[in-house]
Amino acid sequence: MSPPDRRRDAPLLFGVGLGPGDPELVTLKARRVIETSDVVAYPMARHGESVARRIAAPYLRGDQTEIAMTYPVTTEATDHPGGYEAALHEFYDASAAEIARHLDAGRSVAVLCEGDPFLYGSYMYLHERLAGRYPTEVVPGVTSFSAAAAAAGSPLVKRDDVLTILPGTLPAQVIASRLRTTDAAVVIKLGRSFAAVRGAAERAGVADRAIYVERASSPQEHIAALRDVDGDVPYMSLVLVPTTSGGQRAPDVSRPGEVAVVGLGPAGPEWLTPEAGAALAEAEELVGYTTYLDRVARRPGQHRHGSDNRDEARRARQALQLAASGRRVAVVSSGDPGIFAMAAAVLEAVEEGGSAFAHIRVRIVPGLSAMQVAAARVGAPLGHDFCVVSLSDQLKPWAAIERRLEAAGAADLVLALYNPASRTRREQLERARTVLLRHRAAETPVVVARDVGGREENVTVSTLAGFDAAQVDMRTLLLIGSSTTRVIEATQGSPRVYTPRHYPA
């Protein structure tokens, strides 16, 4: 049969998505392309039929040229000298060359692909090799997880929910981390990775709502709760983790209440760790300074308890009381909760509460500290030994602060100074400078970092004698160098500050 006349820019190469397995889920456009193409190519395993051809079989004419692209390896070992990746690379090169011969002869070629060609589809590897040389069109297909959700009767996402698609071949700890921080998820490519995926779902706390779907939309379709599935499963299976009602995970009444003290990092969501994000998502109650609570995304079903920045002890007791009633509580803290923040306040309340709070699980979730971010902005001033001191004398006498400054100065340690000054507490910073100048040269580098990570961030490099104390407030952090701290002037950008790793004998 001679190929029909075509415009020079009309597609010759088609990547055709066949959908999840049911021939009736092949789109009208995909069917038309299959029926009218001169050549039909499809992947096939060495030890079985071509799933793609079986789906498309009702639409094949019978007089078309067929190219069965037989994989050299699937899950078994290979004796190729370059290993698995090299064997597949060679296979796609050879398949592309065979298809190209037909395209060069003016024949149209439909490359069949289960699901959608550009969603983990095998066609994309041929597309990379051929699309730049021939007129090409990709026909999208119904995805396997769309069919699986429909078959399970389980909506996946709603409103502002985030859907995450994960290959089951990822490390289990990565899968667990992603499952903790998303509203809904799909885990595909199971097979030999199934046990690890199921374990990851358990560790992430989503196994109770996870659904296993095997060969969605095919006659062999099987649907079950994830926890009811054990043993070997086929590669053509997946796990759905649908959203819960209102976008919030249903409380697990079998679990006792707990308090997670969560570090938000110094500013926006880009500083939030996956573990911290998961702890916030799992909480039923959020407790914290109102300004910090406002940095946490709102989730339906969560209750917020905001207060003034000076109410640390009351916040800690409130969080523990909520947990004692069986609630899952997150106490939010800027930066790292263990550095001049809420972790110590919560543990103080646990100790003071005695038996009333002794049974409550308290978990500290670390965050990126302001001093780490400030240091990174200028280089590596904390590259050698350093100490951290708060200049606030509200909870300790100034005499103790001064003794520590004297000791740190005499020991030639880099200092990170938190809470250096407030509206009513101005003289302490000048007194600290006086103490340190007894041990440091006037030109000792000082990093003045205000609102690091925030919209008003301003980081400058000055000296111990020269920095402007009038510009320092409670949103400012100071990094004061040691005798070995160096400043490298830059021809472009800000100077770089670092403390060498080696200390002179």
Please indicate, yes or no, whether residues 170 and 212 belong to a single structural domain of this protein.
yes
pLDDT at 298: 83
Give the residue among 380, 394, 439, 390 at the shortest CA–CA distance from 418.
390
Please indicate, yes or no, whether residues 208 and 221 belong to a single structural domain of this protein.
yes
Residue 254 has pLDDT above 60, yes or no: no
Please indicate, yes or no, whether residues 395 and 492 belong to a single structural domain of this protein.
yes
pLDDT at 80: 66
Q: Give just the sign of the alpha carbon dihedral 403, 406, 411, 412.
A: positive
pLDDT band at 98 (very low <50, low <70, confident <90, very high): very high
**What does the pLDDT average to over 368-397?**
95
Please indicate, yes or no, whether residues 217 and 264 belong to a single structural domain of this protein.
no
Q: Is 5 domain-assigned? A: no
The mean pLDDT of the chain is: 90
Q: Is 504 domain-assigned? A: no
Of 142, 164, 180, the position where a domain reaches its end is 142
Residue 382 has pLDDT above 60, yes or no: yes
Q: How far is CA 406 from CA 173, 412, 436, 499, 503, in A?
A: 46, 10, 7, 20, 20
pLDDT at 78: 60
Cα–Cα distance for residue pair 94/88, rounded to 1 Å: 10
**Could you tell me the end-to-end alpha-carbon distance of the chain, in angstroms, rounded to an integer?**
88
Q: In what order do the strands lie in the sheet with 496-498?
A: 379-380, 496-498, 486-488
Please indicate, yes or no, whether residues 107 and 191 belong to a single structural domain of this protein.
no
Residue 246 has pLDDT above 90, yes or no: no
Instruction: Copy the structure tokens of residue 468.
Output: 């402007």
Q: Which domain holds residue 209?
A: 145-247
Q: Is 8 domain-assigned? A: no
Please indicate, yes or no, whether residues 401 and 474 belong to a single structural domain of this protein.
yes
Quote the number of domains for the chain.
4
pLDDT at 255: 55
Cα–Cα distance for residue pair 301/213, rounded to 1 Å: 29
Q: What is the CATH number of the domain that holds 101?
A: 3.40.1010.10
Q: How far is CA 333 from CA 187, 230, 235, 341, 368, in A?
A: 33, 41, 43, 6, 11
Inter-axis angle of helices 172-181 and 274-282, nearest 10: 50
Q: Which tens digit of pLDDT belongs to each residue from 54-92?
A: 999 999 999 999 999 998 866 555 666 666 688 888 999
Q: Is 427 domain-assigned? A: yes
pLDDT at 185: 95
pLDDT at 311: 83
Q: Is 152 domain-assigned? A: yes
Please indicate, yes or no, whether residues 213 and 266 belong to a single structural domain of this protein.
no
Q: How far is CA 349 from CA 14, 259, 441, in A?
A: 66, 12, 43
pLDDT at 71: 85
Residue 253 has pLDDT above 80, yes or no: no
Instruction: Copy the structure tokens of residue 357.
Output: 């709070």
Q: Is 329 domain-assigned? A: yes
Cα–Cα distance for residue pair 135/104, rounded to 1 Å: 11
Q: Which tens digit of pLDDT belongs to each residue from 199-228?
A: 999 988 899 999 999 999 988 999 999 999
Q: Which tens digit of pLDDT belongs to each residue from 290-325?
A: 999 999 988 777 899 998 877 899 999 999 999 998
Q: Is 1 domain-assigned? A: no
Instruction: Copy the structure tokens of residue 79.
Output: 């004796």
Q: 284 near 323, Cβ under 8 Å?
A: no
Q: 474 near 459, Cβ under 8 Å?
A: no
Q: Which is more confident, 382 or 254?
A: 382
**What does the pLDDT average to over 458-462?**
94
Q: What is the CATH number of the domain that holds 155?
A: 3.30.950.10
Q: Is 237 domain-assigned? A: yes
Q: Which tens digit of pLDDT belongs to each residue from 113-130?
A: 999 999 999 999 999 999
Beta-carbon contacts of 336 under 8 Å, excluding residues fewer than 6 positions away, are 263, 366, 367, 368, 369
